[in-house]
Structure 1
């Protein structure tokens, strides 16, 4: 299984496990990410830790997985499928902590951008090499990344090819914490415990509101919150009773 999920004591551990390919994402992994996110969404987990196995967090999209596709299939399946998976991760009701325990490049950087916070180990580097290959950062590398970190850092990576160290990425606001190599998971667990100590419902609602303010899933967030209010009202109880009893409701 190239994307593993383990839920323990309220923490969902989501691990990219294709170390021999530097955790580069192929089609199967993209679909698996969507599936794992659905599992997490409906689980008892209250916080998610995302990490990579081996030397890289994620080296991006596996070139061999998409290089042979027609332009139509590339856009229709590869780009759209990646967006669906990354959107599912970014829009989880649970906070997501990304542990950049290895380099995060291209699609790997876009994956890290889906998290609520990013912990980088000192040795890692981040960048967007896509334009050097003749392609664009296609999994919201120009959209979500720009919304969350500002256009200038994305310009420097995607247009000018700059690659940043962990410390530089932290100074620029892409990374939230820098730790010594090998200490990323310990920091993530510490932060996860801080989440677990807070109100689960208030945390979930706050994340939804922040996402909406950031332009992330605004329509669904607003309708979900309004729907929950309506579902808890006396009006709904009366409306359902009237429907079952085949009478006009008395609101």
Structure 2
């Protein structure tokens, strides 16, 4: 892969967008590589948690590569958004393994949309987040108009989209857009520490929880019914047997 790096240690796989000279901007090739990487890592038995980040300290992802679509027509624009959502952003959100976005520096446009597709976000203190698309005569097309209101509320989402401005890490934390704000030096260690806590728990239960939580944000799905199904399915797993046995015998579960 030309534009991303993949590294696995202690069952944590870090996927790094590696285009520092372009502030890690998402072009078509990078989106395709990220899509393939998510597929690959999701099937990797040696991976329990995924961390998404950008190379360097300046940017997580500073947006899309605008020159790729500056001359697109209506149908090409629709296909660009549909393909991106289908092949990457929805795939990250629906990944059966927990995905943490380590937001270092700028997370703008498609970069913020990628971070929002992750299951939760940790930001460095120098992070700047925003959806500047309306300043270019377009709107967010990779799920930003849907996921941002889910995270920060309709009013704040409208303000961020309509002003096309950036917010700092502290404001993002106040809004609920990021879970934690740490120094740049603490960013990856904090994400790895959180990943370690996650890995204490059942991989099958975590996957079920991801499906149940995501279902609550789909108009065509009854989230409560999905929770019932996933809850029941857990009873048929070895992880449930191990977890309950460990609890009853006052020992640590080994999943």
Would you call these one fold, judging by a TM-score over 0.5? yes
Q: Distance in 1 between matches of 2:41 and 2:151?
A: 23
Tell me if structure 2 keeps the 8 A contact 1:211–1:218. no
Counterpart position of 2:85: 83
2:64 to 61, 64, 67: 61
Q: Distance in 1 between matches of 2:156 and 2:10?
A: 37
Counterpart position of 2:168: 165
Tell me if structure 1 keeps the 8 A contact 2:48–2:97. yes
Counterpart position of 1:193: 196
Counterpart position of 1:6: 7
Q: CA deviation at 1:179?
A: 0.4
**Whose radius of gyration is greater, 1 or 2?**
1
Stretch of structure 1 that moved more, 93-102 or 144-153: 144-153
Counterpart position of 1:118: 121
Tell me if structure 1 keeps the 8 A contact 2:127–2:168. yes
Q: Distance in 2 between matches of 1:37 and 1:17?
A: 15
Q: Distance in 2 between matches of 1:69 and 1:194?
A: 45
1:148 to 134, 148, 151: 151
Please report the TM-score for the alignment, with normalisation by the length of structure 1. Answer: 0.84
* Segments ≥4 residues shifted beyond 6 Å: none
- CA-based RMSD: 2.3
User: How is 1:222-233 mapped onto 2 (pairs within 5 angstroms)?
Assistant: 222=226
Q: For each residue in 1:19-56, what CA deviation from the matched residue of structure 2 results, as whole angstroms up to 9, or x when unmatched?
A: 11001000111111211111122112111101000220
Q: Distance in 2 between matches of 1:72 and 1:123?
A: 38
Tell me if structure 2 keeps the 8 A contact 1:148–1:214. no
Aligned length: 227
2:102 corresponds to 1:103:
no
Q: Secondary structure at the match of 1:143?
A: helix
When residues 34 and 131 of structure 1 are mapped into structure 2, their CA distance, relative to the original with a 3 A threshold, is same
Q: Distance in 1 between matches of 2:102 and 2:155?
A: 24
Counterpart position of 1:33: 34
User: How is 1:203-214 mapped onto 2 (pairs within 5 angstroms)?
Assistant: 203-214=206-217
Q: Distance in 2 between matches of 1:160 and 1:176?
A: 24
